Each structure stands twice: as C-alpha cells, then as structure tokens.
Amino acid sequence: MSHFQQKTHSIWQEIQGPEHPPLHTDRTTDVCIVGAGISGLTTAYRLLKEGVKVLVIDKESFGRNETGLSTAHLSNALDDRYALLKKWHGPEGSRLAYESHTEAIQMIEHIVHEAAIDCEFMRTDGYLFLGPEHDINYLKEEMAAAHEAGFSEVGFLSRAPVAFFESGPCLHFPHQAQIDPLKYLKGLAQAVTNMGGEIYFQTRATQVVGGPEAYVKTDTGATINCRHIVVATNVPINDLVTMHTKEAAYRTYAIGIKVPVGQIHGGLFWDTSDPYHYVRMKFNPSQDYDVLIVGGEDHRVGQCEHPEKQYLKLRDWVHARLGFAPEVLYHWSGQIIEPIDGLAYIGRNPGDEKNVYIVSGDSGHGTTHGTIAGGILSDLIAGRDNKYAALYDPGRFNWKCLDTYARENLRGAMQYADWFATYKEEKRREDLAPGEGGIFMEGIHKFAVYRDLEGGFHEFSAACPHLRGVVHWNETEQTWDCPFHGSRFSKMGEVLNGPALSGLAPRKPERPATAGSEKVSEESPPPAP
C-alpha cells in the first residue's frame, strides 16, 4: 500500500481538544448554532459578548470538522481574484469583499489578544506568482483590480524575496496572517464556555424548523427550543436543493514536508494555476525541523478515480518548484464549497422563516469567511444593519455567473448516469481486499460494499440519501463520496459531510410488488432529475 493510501491526518489534529458530552435532554436557548467550527464558534463568541444565550451542537468531536483540515491562510488576497470579483460584483462589491476580509483578519487578531489564545498567530506577507497558463499581464490586471478595490499596498515584484525557490514575477500582498486553526478553535471554545455558552459534541441535528416556535431536533433524542437558528455546517443541512444549486463541493489536498529549521522564513504563497497551489510554513520551536505545508490539486467530490494521486502531484510540484525530493510527514484532504460568484453565503436562509440563518460557500477562505459570518449574523440576530449583509446574502443570484451556474449543475447532474452504467467484467464481492470498498450491481440495483479488515462484508444502498446520486469509493479517505452535491459517508455508511442528513441505508431486499405497481427498493435509480 502506498504511503498516500494510508490514513490521512492533518498536522493540526495532534493537539488535545476540549471534551463536551452529547446532549441528551431538551434545552431552551436564545440561539441554537449547528456546527462548532470557525463559523459557529465565532458567531457564538460574538453573541455571548452581547449577553445572548447560546447553545452549540456538533455531530463530531473537537477538531474533526473542516476547521481541523484547513491550512488557515488568513488572507484578503482572494482566490477568485479581484479582477473577477469586480466583473461579478462590480467595483463596490469588490471593495466590500476586500474590506470584509481585511476586517476579519483584524478581528481574529483582536480575539486572539482579548481571549488570550495561544494559536501561533503571526502577520506575514503573501505572494501570488504565475502558473504556466498565464503571463505577466494576468498579474498586472489583478494588481489594478486590487488597487481599485482599495488594496493600495499591492505591489509588483520581479520575484518573491525568498531564497528557497525562484517564483518569477509575482504580486506582493502585505499584512496577511496565519494561525494554527485548531489551537484557535480550542481557545474560542474555551472562551464560549467561560461566558456561559453551552457546547455539545456527538450531537447531530436531524431537523431544523424556524418560525415563532423554532426548534432543532437531534439524533440523541433532545429538542432545542430557541428564538434563532444558525446552521454553520459547511453546507446547509436544512436545505434540500436551492442553495446546493449555487455552490459545488470540492476536495482539496495538502502535504506537510520536513524542512530544516531556519531554511524557510515564512510567507504565504499562491500560484495562478487551475487548480491552484498554496504554500505556508508551520514552525516547530520544540522540534529540530519545521514543516512546509503545500496544498492544492482540487477536484469535484467523488469525481476523481484515484485520489491518492493528488498527493503525488503535490509532491512532484514541490520537487519541480523547490528542487528537492520532499520528505512527507503529513497528508490530508478537506472539503471546500465553491459558490458560483466567489463569495460565501451568509445570512437568512432563502425561503425559510426569518430566524434561520446559514453560513456556506467558503471558497477556500473558510477562516476569514467564518469570521465575517460572526459579525453579519450577530448583527442580523440583534436587528442591526450590517454593511456586508447584502454582498453575502444567501438569497442572491448573480446573473453574471450564469455560465458557471449551468456548468457546475450540469457536472453534478451528469453523475446520475452512474445509475445506468454497466460493467463488462464486474468484480465480485469476494474479490475485494480487506479494507477495500466497491460498487456492485444486481439488475438495476447498485450496492456499496465494504470489506473490513477481518474479511466481513458490510453492504449499503449506493444511493446518497440527499438526492440519490451513486456514491463512489474513496480508497485514500476510506469513505463513500457522492459526486452530485458532495455528501460523504464513512466506510460503515455513517454521514460525515452534508447535505445528507442520514447515512447510507443498509442493504434491504426488494419489497414485493403490489397490484398495479413495480417492485421498489432503496437501491433503485431515482426519478429523472
């Protein structure tokens, strides 16, 4: 087995986080927040500072959500570039995007000092350099757009002022920052509980209902009655279709490389390729080495035949760019939700009661978008105006991005063709190696089968419970991934990522046909989309 087919583990997940029990009894609170990542806990922190009663639930234990898989670039040099943001949102929209992410970095710095969080926060510079697809005019256009958005300090350099690689022409973005995301999240959680907030782990929301008698039901049997609900779950679990047509789920990959202490002095680096690459340092004062973190090679969830090869591509990119064969200490992947117009969806859930709010569409800037969410949502809940609320409104539809909207939805809908795929030489269940999964057919029915390390078989419907796309086996992560809207499930069928609310259904026999009906099973193809 390749090193990159072994269990993934982020560099941040080695710390011991706070332990909070599941919620087993009913509660009443002002605001129930579903999701204990950066978005959820920042919103809780901001609300508690105003004396609002807050309860937070999360289906995972500490650090097992997407925050623990981030590389935590705190940047106002946005991935979709200011030239595109100007085209999509106009000059005023691009200016507000710059201001909101700048203020988010400042807010994180403020919270770090206010709550005394030891999370390795440091200011650093960022550098955008060319991928092979672009020339120097790309950088000049982006610099002009950044200046127009208000980022006047952006400058052009003939190369980044670092010795460890030759960047070529690049843009210099000063006043960026980085943190250890889980140390920061741990400090936020402690601050939330110190102010009287309640946090419960291993508690999954199964129903979200807004209105005058709003409540959240959980898989532990508890009901949380509240005045407001914030769904901060990376993708909205309370929405069946609407929001998921405006965003797409991608996997992004990262490797941590051992480098001698003092060889690389820091900085954030990004190239202009598609998919692009991103680089930062993790300094280890207690070790005799530092770790260079390199990420990228993104693809739509469930739409990559051999995900382990993405790590090999990162390793080869490092070798080609930096001139040494990297010693990889860590490798992991995370989920990025790409909105069609480059900016997150933060605010009232469209078509819902006015007291249900969502945070989604991080677009590779989950830490700053999540911090922006804390400000917008605390203002909306308090009934105050927020100058960024319209820009990030989840109800918006940007007609300037209609081509992106159509392309991403077509790429998802095309995955329904999996229901009608056949195999000339279908692999038998018995051919699965221990620790391997696969999709099998019987007639028109498809099953997801996992063979455990003891040789036992575990069989499920291959239909994602959200909108019934056929899941794909991810050998590297040992998960079942849905290529339609990005839901992910453990090898034993338990839901890991929404929008699915429940796990894969255990395999069931066909139900007998009744008069005038056809046989129906959980594994049957869905109705035509």
Domain 3-7+25-70+182-245+342-397 part of CATH 3.50.50.60? yes
**Would you say residue 18 has pLDDT above 90?**
no
Dump pLDDT digits (tens) for 132-149: 888 999 999 999 999 999
**Would you say residue 125 has pLDDT above 90?**
yes
Beta-sheet strands, E only, within 302-442: 328-339, 345-348, 356-360, 436-442
In the DSSP assignment, the letter for residue 222 is -
Dump pLDDT digits (tens) for 187-213: 999 999 999 999 999 999 999 999 999
Whole-number pLDDT of residue 417 = 54
The mean pLDDT of the chain is: 86
Q: What is the mean pLDDT of residues 361-376?
A: 92
Q: Which residue has the higher pLDDT, 166 or 523?
A: 166
Whole-number pLDDT of residue 508 = 64
Whole-number pLDDT of residue 408 = 55
Q: What is the mean pLDDT of residues 226-249?
A: 83
Rounded Cα gap, residues 475 and 472, in angstroms: 9
Element (H, E) at 289: strand 289-300
Distances (CA, A) of 449 to 2, 187, 301, 413, 467: 22, 41, 19, 24, 20
Categorize the per-residue pLDDT at 415 as very low, low, confident or very high, splitting at 50, 70 and 90: low
**Would you say residue 511 has pLDDT above 50?**
no
- 368 neighbors 102 (Cβ within 8 angstroms): no
Categorize the per-residue pLDDT at 516 as very low, low, confident or very high, splitting at 50, 70 and 90: very low
- In DSSP notation, 53-122 reads -EEEE-SS-TT-SGGGG---EE-SS-TT-HHHHHHHHHHHHHHHHHHHHHHHHHHHHHHHHHTT--S--E
| Residue type for position 316 | D
Dump pLDDT digits (tens) for 475-505: 888 889 888 878 889 889 888 887 888 889 8
CA atoms within 13 A on the CB side of 462: 26
Whole-number pLDDT of residue 407 = 63
Whole-number pLDDT of residue 517 = 39
**Would you say residue 375 has pLDDT above 90?**
yes
Dump pLDDT digits (tens) for 306-340: 888 999 999 999 998 888 788 999 999 998 888 88
Which candidate, 365, 363, 364, 360, places its Cα nearest to that of 376?
360
**Would you say residue 521 has pLDDT above 70?**
no
Q: What is the mean pLDDT of residues 238-248?
A: 73
Name the token pair of 234. Answer: 């990376």
Pairing mode, if any, of strands 277-282 and 289-300?
antiparallel
Which candidate, 336, 315, 289, places its Cα nearest to that of 2?
315
Name the token pair of 152. Answer: 């006047």
Pairing mode, if any, of strands 170-178 and 122-129?
antiparallel
Q: What percent of the chain has pLDDT over 90?
A: 53
Categorize the per-residue pLDDT at 518 as very low, low, confident or very high, splitting at 50, 70 and 90: very low
Contacts by 399-406 with C-beta closer than 8 Å and gap 24+? 400/87, 400/88, 400/341, 401/88, 401/340, 401/341, 404/340, 404/341, 405/245, 405/246, 405/340
Taken in order 248, 352, 383, 357, is the CA torsion positive or negative? negative
Dump pLDDT digits (tens) for 346-355: 999 987 778 9
**Would you say residue 428 has pLDDT above 80?**
no
**Would you say residue 424 has pLDDT above 70?**
no
**Would you say residue 165 has pLDDT above 90?**
no
Whole-number pLDDT of residue 484 = 80
Q: What are phi and psi of 338, to 5 degrees?
A: -95, 115
Helix or strand or coil: residue 9? Answer: strand
pTM for the model: 0.88
Q: What is the mean pLDDT of residues 164-190?
A: 94
Determine the distance from the C-alpha atom of residue 411 to the mean position of all C-alpha atoms in its chain, rounded to a whole number: 19
Rounded Cα gap, residues 421 and 409, in angstroms: 20
Q: How far apart are the first and last CA of the chain?
A: 39
Whole-number pLDDT of residue 232 = 93
Q: Where are the domains of the chain?
A: 3-7+25-70+182-245+342-397
Whole-number pLDDT of residue 402 = 59
Whole-number pLDDT of residue 418 = 55
Which candidate, 102, 239, 274, 110, places its Cα nearest to that of 173?
102
Beta-sheet strands, E only, within 149-246: 155-157, 170-178, 198-200, 205-209, 215-218, 223-231
Categorize the per-residue pLDDT at 171 as very low, low, confident or very high, splitting at 50, 70 and 90: very high
In the DSSP assignment, the letter for residue 306 is -
**Would you say residue 420 has pLDDT above 70?**
no
Categorize the per-residue pLDDT at 114 as very low, low, confident or very high, splitting at 50, 70 and 90: very high
Whole-number pLDDT of residue 528 = 41
- 171 neighbors 156 (Cβ within 8 angstroms): yes
Whole-number pLDDT of residue 525 = 55
| Residue type for position 311 | Y
Name the token pair of 178. Answer: 């980085």
Rounded Cα gap, residues 485 and 158, in angstroms: 41
**Lowest-pLDDT choice from 87-91, 120-124, 241-245, 248-252:** 241-245
Whole-number pLDDT of residue 435 = 87
Asked if the bond preceding 275 is cis, omega within 30° of 0, the reply is yes
Whole-number pLDDT of residue 312 = 93
- 70 neighbors 371 (Cβ within 8 angstroms): no
Distances (CA, A) of 197 to 51, 99, 213, 214, 347: 10, 30, 21, 19, 22
**Would you say residue 438 has pLDDT above 60?**
yes
Whole-number pLDDT of residue 247 = 82
